[in-house]
Structure 1
Amino acid sequence: MDTRERLIESTRELLWERGYVGTSPKAIQERSGAGQGSMYHHFQGKPELALAAIDRSAADLRARAEAELGGTGPVTARIGAYLRRERDALKGCPVGRLTQDPDVMADPGLRRPVEQTFAWLTDRLAGLLAEGRENGEFDAGLDPVATATALVAVLQGGYVLARAAGSAAVYERAVDGALGLLTR
């Protein structure tokens, strides 16, 4: 991995662990093994590097979601595979945790990839739910957009509840509950 990549990956990890304020240039340099000169050679400053890291986390989330959602088979199975995918529930979502960071949310440039990622995920799920409604997997009265929004909220809320309880089982119960409601 070259220096630029090490800087981005280190910043991704630090943002997930510490948030924007806790991700100092010094911490990034220490984690990446890059010197100050290298950091500023590749990026104009912390905001530009943070944006590259957030963009990367957002792209990773979309790619991992698409791996399950874009597969073949019944819509319920694809959504179930996505919701039950192995995650570190106690660590939380690397993109979702950024919504708790006031510095990220106050900066339109840093907030944009977070907002776009959740809009993409909601739209992707809504499209699948509409497909499932059309093919008879779901009730004809199902509202795809409202249901997709609820599924995204269950995922993100499941992380919060699991962290609060110190137990990944809480996250799993939230997912089980959502799938139970979806397939009734």
Structure 2
Amino acid sequence: MNARERLVESTQELLWERGYVGTSPKAILERAGVGQGSMYHHFDGKSGLALAAIRRTAEGMKETADACLSGPGTAYDRVAGYLLRERQVLRGCPVGRMTQDRDVVRNSALRQPLDEMFGWLQDRIAGVLDEGVRRGELAAGLDPVATAATVAAVIQGGYVLARAADSPEPFDAAVRGVLALLAAQVTPAPDAAPAPPSAPLPRP
């Protein structure tokens, strides 16, 4: 791994752990094991390096979410797969973490990858739900856009509640709740036994 990659990966880790304000150039250099000259050779400073790291993190989250939402099964199965995927709940969301940092929110360049990530996620979930409605898998009265916003809010809110409680249980309870609400919108296939509202949550 070259110096640039080490700098980006180290910044990703530190931003998740400490936030933007708590991540100093010195800490980045120490974590990456490179000299100051390497940082300023590849980036124009802390903000430029942070932008590269935030973009990398957002793209990684998009790939992970899309793999779940593009999987096999019904619309419910695919959204459930996204909700139930393995997460480091007590560390919080690496993208959501950035939205709690005032210096990031006030910087339009740093905020852009966050806005794009959350906008993409809601649109992607809404597309899956709309497909489910059109296929008759979900109730015709379901609002895909509003439901997608609810799913995204439950995930981000669940992270906050879990960190506040120092326990993954609030996150798990929120996921079970939204899955039960979504399961109530599932249109059962003829002669099919009713599906359980949710599956057991995997532990990281």
Gaps in structure 1 of 5+ consecutive residues: none
Per-residue deviation, residues 124-177 of structure 1 (Å, max 9, x unmatched): 000001011111221111111100000000000000011111111211111111
Aligned pairs for 1:71-90 (under 5 A) are 71-90=71-90
SS at match of 2:89: coil
- The CA distance in 2 between the partners of 1:3 and 1:176, in whole Å, is 43
- The CA distance in 1 between the partners of 2:153 and 2:137, in whole Å, is 22
- The CA distance in 2 between the partners of 1:100 and 1:44, in whole Å, is 24
2:95 corresponds in structure 1 to: 95
Q: CA deviation at 1:2?
A: 1.1
Q: CA deviation at 1:38?
A: 0.7
- The CA distance in 1 between the partners of 2:129 and 2:81, in whole Å, is 14
Per-residue deviation, residues 54-79 of structure 1 (Å, max 9, x unmatched): 00000000000011101121111111
2:202 corresponds in structure 1 to: none
Q: Does 1:120 align with 2:120?
A: yes
Aligned pairs for 1:1-184 (under 5 A) are 1-184=1-184
AA aligned opposite 1:158: G
SS at match of 2:20: helix
- The CA distance in 2 between the partners of 1:173 and 1:136, in whole Å, is 28
CA RMSD across the alignment: 0.7
- The CA distance in 1 between the partners of 2:153 and 2:144, in whole Å, is 14
Moved more, 162-171 or 118-127: 162-171
Aligned residues: 184
Identity of aligned residues (%): 61
AA aligned opposite 1:183: A
Q: CA deviation at 1:41?
A: 0.8
Alignment TM-score, normalising by the size of structure 1: 0.98
AA aligned opposite 1:169: E
AA aligned opposite 1:47: S
- The CA distance in 2 between the partners of 1:144 and 1:74, in whole Å, is 15
Which runs of structure 1 show a deviation greater than 4 angstroms over 4 or more consecutive aligned residues?
none
Gaps in structure 2 of 5+ consecutive residues: 185-204
Alignment TM-score, normalising by the size of structure 2: 0.89
